[in-house]
């Protein structure tokens, strides 16, 4: 594998990594930055194209067991130069620029699935940790994928990537406009359930075994009224304790579990 020594924070590839981590966008075609050998291993396992690997001097042995393609470019640099590009308080000694998967509607609704679609729609979710946790739960409970509406944080935010524990590499997620989202789901016969605190049907009384999309709103304001009006109905999680609402990722996980439970019972 070609290895090049870097001695400046102003190196163009280092600056590219810094931008990718500091300002992750919603453009699925832009390179994404990831930190740490574990995430790099998960990216390789998922078949992602590794554009460039960055290693701190003295830590290149961490790459030995990663089965990097022979054409992969590796930049070796002093630890402080690599740390200057990373987003964590305790910087990892390994980072990489990777090409995100190119997901489409076919990956979410295509004929390759042998069960009814189970999809999450995220409307204005702002906390990257919540998004990453939702990705992990969605993969764990067998969801087809996630639709990310405008105003939702990028799935390639470093905190979201870490919280997903690699699920962001494997679970289909596409960024869509609100009209496209609702049109495609309605055309596919997918029932859309908006989460709500009041005036909604308890989750265990809603049929989640059929084609369904769970609409999760902003952490503070919930699902916007105009989007809730386009949904097929409202769903809630009854809480017997003195808590009015749940964290977005916790609520999504509970609903995903209930959907998985119902689907298992209907097999």
The predicted model gives 37-66 an average pLDDT of: 94
Q: What is the reported pLDDT for 203?
A: 96
Cβ within 8 Å of residue 82, ≥6 positions away? 14, 54, 55, 56, 91, 93, 95
Which of 17, 65, 72 lies closest to 38 in space, CA to CA?
A: 65
Q: Are residues 120 and 238 in the same domain?
A: yes
Q: What is the reported pLDDT for 1?
A: 66
Rounded-to-integer distance, Cα 204 and Cα 206, Å:
6
The predicted model gives 160-178 an average pLDDT of: 97
CB 155 within 8 A of CB 127: no
Domain count, the chain: 2
pTM tops 0.85? yes
Which of 34, 80, 25 lies closest to 58 in space, CA to CA?
A: 80
- Our CA angle for 64, 155, 69, nearest 5°, is 25
Q: Are residues 18 and 148 in the same domain?
A: no
Q: Are residues 222 and 116 in the same domain?
A: yes
Q: Are residues 80 and 211 in the same domain?
A: no
Q: Are residues 129 and 85 in the same domain?
A: no
Q: Are residues 15 and 138 in the same domain?
A: no
Q: What is the reported pLDDT for 101?
A: 94
What are the tens digits of pLDDT across the range 67-123?
A: 898 888 999 999 999 999 997 888 899 999 999 999 999 999 987 777 899 999 999
Q: Which residue has the tokens 């992990």?
A: 136
The DSSP code sequence of 107-126 is HHHSTT-SS--EEEEESS--
The predicted model gives 6-30 an average pLDDT of: 91
Domain closes at, from 99, 114, 141? 99
Q: CATH number of the domain that 37 lies in?
A: 3.30.1330.30
* Helix or strand (DSSP H, E) at 181: helix 178-187
Q: Are residues 57 and 176 in the same domain?
A: no
Q: Residue 135: is it exposed, middle or buried by C-beta count within 10 angstroms (0-12/13-18/19+)?
A: buried
Percent of the chain whose pLDDT exceeds 70: 100
Given pLDDT bands bounded at 50, 70 and 90, which one contains residue 56? very high
Rounded-to-integer distance, Cα 180 and Cα 127, Å:
24
Backbone phi, psi, residue 61, to 5°? -65, -20
- Strand-pairing partners, residue 215, are 121, 194
Domain closes at, from 99, 114, 144? 99
**Average pLDDT across the chain, whole number:** 93
* Helix or strand (DSSP H, E) at 94: strand 94-99
**How distant is the alpha carbon of residue 232 from its chain centre?**
25
Q: Are residues 127 and 213 in the same domain?
A: yes
Which range marks the domain in which residue 196 is found? 105-265
Q: Is the dihedral of CA 37, 42, 47, 48 positive or negative?
A: negative
Q: Are residues 123 and 192 in the same domain?
A: yes
Q: Which residue has the tokens 């924070």?
A: 9
Domain closes at, from 99, 122, 142? 99
Rounded-to-integer distance, Cα 181 and Cα 148, Å:
9
Percent of the chain whose pLDDT exceeds 90: 81
Q: What is the reported pLDDT for 225?
A: 93
Q: Is the dihedral of CA 168, 171, 176, 181 positive or negative?
A: negative
Q: What is the reported pLDDT for 67?
A: 86
Q: Are residues 241 and 166 in the same domain?
A: yes
Q: What is the reported pLDDT for 24?
A: 92
Q: CATH number of the domain that 168 lies in?
A: 3.40.1280.10
Cβ within 8 Å of residue 201, ≥6 positions away? 233, 234, 235, 236
Which of 118, 169, 127 lies closest to 146 in space, CA to CA?
A: 118
Lowest pLDDT segment from 73-87, 130-144, 168-182, 231-245: 231-245
């Amino acid at each position: 594998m070609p290895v090049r020594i870097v001695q400046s924070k102003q190196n163009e590839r280092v600056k590219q990594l810094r931008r990718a981590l500091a300002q992750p966008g919603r453009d699925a075609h832009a390179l994404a930055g990831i930190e740490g050998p574990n995430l790099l291993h998960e990216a390789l396992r998922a078949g992602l194209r590794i554009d460039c690997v960055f290693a701190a001097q003295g830590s290149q042995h961490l790459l030995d067991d990663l089965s990097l393609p022979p054409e992969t470019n590796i930049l070796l640099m002093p630890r402080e130069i690599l740390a200057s590009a990373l987003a964590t308080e305790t910087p990892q000694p390994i980072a990489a620029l990777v090409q995100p998967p190119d997901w489409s509607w076919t990956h979410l609704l295509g004929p390759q699935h042998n069960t009814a679609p189970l999809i999450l729609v995220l409307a204005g979710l702002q906390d990257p940790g919540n998004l990453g946790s939702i990705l992990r739960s969605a993969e764990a409970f067998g969801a087809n994928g996630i639709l990310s509406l405008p105003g939702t944080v990028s799935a390639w935010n470093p905190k979201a990537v870490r919280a997903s524990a690699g699920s962001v590499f494997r679970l289909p997620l596409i960024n869509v406009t609100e009209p496209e989202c609702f049109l495609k789901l309605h055309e596919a016969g997918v029932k859309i359930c908006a989460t709500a605190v009041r005036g909604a049907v308890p989750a265990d009384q809603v049929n989640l075994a059929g084609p369904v999309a769970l609409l999760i709103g902003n952490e503070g304001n919930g699902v916007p009224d105009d989007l809730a009006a386009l949904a097929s109905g409202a769903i809630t999680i009854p809480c017997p304790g003195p808590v009015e609402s749940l964290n977005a990722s916790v609520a999504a996980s509970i609903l995903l579990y209930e959907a998985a439970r119902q689907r298992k019972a209907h097999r």
